[in-house]
Amino acid sequence: MLIIPAIDLKDGACVRLRQGLMDDATVFSDDPVAMAAKWVEAGCRRLHLVDLNGAFEGQPVNGEVVTAIAKRYPDLPIQIGGGIRTLETIEHYVRAGVSYVIIGTKAVKEPEFVTEACRAFPGKVIVGLDAKDGFVATDGWAEVSSVQAVDLARRFEADGVSAIVYTDIAKDGMMQGCNVEATVALANASRIPVIASGGIHNIGDIQKLLDTNTRGIVGAITGRAIYEGTLDVAEAQALCDLKYKDE
């Protein structure tokens, strides 16, 4: 299981939101490239970038920052979400050196777009499912749909989606632990690997994910916890490595 540091971009700065609310943002750095360097030096093996402005506007806004990070670390897998609604945007990011693009809102509203994207960019597409009480939210979490996360995940099994990033909105940014039960249920319901997201507070939360022995959970995204120092990236990754080494 990979520990994946999150860099959320708002107006060119690195921020964290609480429950996805743009007006409840904490700025942690005005230099996202330097922040990426910090997590790389800590030993991370993948980065999770989110264009928060893009998520609300429906098109990339912080693309230059994403490109700068990708160029700085060409060998580091980077996944980017937020405002990815066209094949042209995906092509732009792939050309910039990004390893994976995360399709969220468009995946819910137009699932056939995921099929099309996977066909055009095989191995590059991740679906982001952000849920509230099990139902998928869209448009920067501003709208909650009538679609259940588990049902949508199954819909994408045949498309060749690389992974699903599953976020429980109620947990995100609150540092009260992730929704382990819902994450495990999603991983067990679909053949697509799941990356847990939202609410991770400390090493104990990582241990809880590992204790489920759910092979389908391949990563855990962490944001506020590593910025506020309640979770150490290197320590958390070492714990994950030890778990799978023992097995």
Active-site residue set:
8, 130
DSSP annotation of 98 reads -
Strand partners, 78: 47
Length of the chain: 247
Q: How far apart are CA 126 and CA 153, in angstroms?
A: 11
125 Cβ neighbours under 8 A, 6+ residues apart: 90, 100, 101, 103, 114, 117, 118, 159, 160, 161, 162
Query: Which of 59, 1, 80, 72 minimizes the C-alpha distance to 31?
Result: 72
Alpha helices in the chain (DSSP H): 32-41, 52-57, 63-72, 87-96, 105-109, 111-120, 149-155, 180-189, 203-211, 224-228, 233-246
